[in-house]
A = this chain, B = another copy of it.
Amino acid sequence: MKILDIARDRVSIRNYKSSIKPPLSDVLYCLETANESPSGLNCQPWYFIIISSKDVKVKIRRLCESKEKEFHNKISRYFKDWLDERGITWRKPFLEYAPYLIIVLGNIKCPYFVQSTWLSIGYLLLACEEKGLSTLTYTPPNTYELSEVLDVPKGFKIEAIIPVGFKSEDRNKEPRIPLREKIFIDKWGMHMNLEK
């Protein structure tokens, strides 16, 4: 299957079949792929904690939801409407019910650690989709408290939580702005004459 098709097929998923655990070997395949990505100075800032324990997932959910609740009380009307349309609230059940959560961390001493870590997340998402595993890139609002619960030492920052599993919902992909509006030739503003 072509990578473009895999990229097109991938949809962010918030509801997972909690009772069916994908093979751990598939999850490791995806992390192995992420581990191959390039990085500034080849520093390889990424680290991954695979959360499989129900207890830990419940703790993570509780911590995140309490901060999300504060956050949702403060956001603008526009943002709130956008979230409402998509059924996104302060509730994050996927943190408890996805069979696996992958906590992605970056070593803050590495040059361009944020950039490199997210590049590796790009690799990770495509590999998951190839294996038939659904994902979401959730950026937790309270990385400090989460780090305490997970024993993360100073110098490593939680960049994302990626739930991984089989989806229990059908969701349309968010529409993409057409490529012709996203690319220019030789300088900003010069649109291309795409022949097709």
Binding site for B on A (CB under 8 A): 2-4, 6-8, 10, 12, 28-29, 31-33, 35-38, 40-42, 44, 46-53, 56, 79, 82, 112, 114-116, 118-123, 125-127, 130, 137, 139, 149-153, 156, 159-160, 174, 176-177, 179, 182-189, 192, 194
Contact = CB atoms under 8 A, between A and B. Distances in A.
Most buried by B among A49, A56, A82, A130: A49
A89 to B, nearest CB: 15
A186 to B, nearest CB: 5
B125 A119 contact: yes
| Chain A interface mostly | mixed
Nearest to A137: B38
12 contacts: A3-B123, A4-B127, A10-B38, A37-B125, A40-B139, A47-B183, A50-B184, A50-B192, A114-B118, A115-B159, A122-B122, A152-B188
